[in-house]
Amino acid sequence: MEKVEVQLFAALTDHFGRNVAVELDGNYKVAAVVDALEKQNPAAIGLLKDCRFAVNENFVDLNYELSDGEQIFIIPPSSGG
Amino acid sequence: MVNKSLSSRPQAADKTGHKNISAEAIDLVEVIANMHDPKAGAVVLFSGEVRNHSAGREVSYLDYEAYDAMADKMIEEIVETAISKFDLHNARCIHRTGKVEVCETAIVVVTCSSHRAEAYAANRYIIDRVKHEAPIWKREYFVDGTMEWAHNCSCHDHPVH
């Protein structure tokens, strides 16, 4: 069981705070992180479905496998400007 | 051409080193003063400002949050793409973070080209892409004391006629 650090922004912080540690067991894909967050807070499922994901300041998809110590940033739909 | 454009840009917009993201008020006069170019017959400045209404509700102010490092990098890439795509002499985009009052600038885009068509088109290209793509979010604070995160970019709700 490994913990992955997750950084959150904007409306997601209302559900999880600025950061949260998610425990994963064997599957370190981004999709597994999202599944864990959805289980932790089902009210965030709709918003999580619209999010993008970044690791080391680059976008990654749900199939990206996190390496040891890598943080994931979960990015809700933009509303700048 | 791209390198030449970069060299004439102003220094960092704030103390974080993210020159396209600023936690401080944007001084439009200062921004445009750094953008004049002897080759540019057209300099277009767009200031996206906080309005006092949103979907029929009275807005008190907005608060912007950004994933600073990534937003800065993405704005840089969008500006560089615009310079190349529209053959600009220079371009600049700065987005605010933090509390922004009504009538204050939340985002400024300046584009400089030989002729106006390219400067206008490039300016629109930059603002549209930054609004849709950059990891920046606004929270609306209403006069009635409530607040909410703004929904996705709403430009398609207000088509140009």
Domains in chain A: ranges and CATH: 2-75 (3.10.20.30)
The per-residue pLDDT for range A10-21, each reduced to its tens digit, is: 999 999 999 999
- Average pLDDT of chain B? 89
- Pick from B85, B122, B102: nearest CA to B51: B102
What is the percent of chain A where pLDDT is above 90?
96
User: How far is the C-alpha of B127 from the C-alpha of A80, rounded, in Å?
Assistant: 10
The per-residue pLDDT for range B9-53, each reduced to its tens digit, is: 444 455 667 899 999 999 999 999 999 999 999 999 999 999 999
Contacts of B117 (CB under 8 A, 6+ apart): none
CATH of domain B2-144: 3.90.1170.40
Contact B137 A11 (CB under 8 A): yes
The nearest CA of chain B is from the CA of A1 a distance in Å of: 29
Q: Where are the domains of chain B?
A: 2-144
The nearest CA of chain B is from the CA of A10 a distance in Å of: 6
- Pick from B119, B145, B109: nearest CA to B41: B119
User: How far is the C-alpha of B71 from the C-alpha of B64, rounded, in Å?
Assistant: 12
The per-residue pLDDT for range A41-61, each reduced to its tens digit, is: 999 999 999 999 999 999 999
Structure tokens at B81: 């793409």
Q: Predicted confidence band at A2 (pLDDT cuts at 50, 70, 90)?
A: confident
Mutation choice for A interface testing from B67, B74, B97 by most A CBs within 10 A: B67
The per-residue pLDDT for range B66-89, each reduced to its tens digit, is: 999 999 999 999 999 999 999 999
Structure tokens at B82: 């615009």
Q: Predicted confidence band at B5 (pLDDT cuts at 50, 70, 90)?
A: very low
Say which of A78, A79, A81 has its CB closest to residue B127.
A81
Query: In chain B, which residues have their Cβ closer than 8 Å to the Cβ of A10?
Result: 65, 137, 139, 149
The per-residue pLDDT for range A60-69, each reduced to its tens digit, is: 999 999 999 9
Query: In chain B, which residues have their Cβ closer than 8 Å to the Cβ of A79?
Result: 136-138, 149-153
Segments in chain B forming alpha helices (H): 2-7, 28-33, 68-85, 116-133
pLDDT of res. B17 = 76
Say which of B48, B71, B137 has its CB closest to residue A79.
B137
The nearest CA of chain A is from the CA of B152 a distance in Å of: 5
pLDDT of res. B4 = 41
Q: Predicted confidence band at B136 (pLDDT cuts at 50, 70, 90)?
A: very high
Say which of A10, A14, A77 has its CB closest to residue B65.
A10
User: How far is the C-alpha of A1 from the C-alpha of A75, rounded, in Å?
Assistant: 25
Q: Which residue has the tokens 């906080």?
A: B50
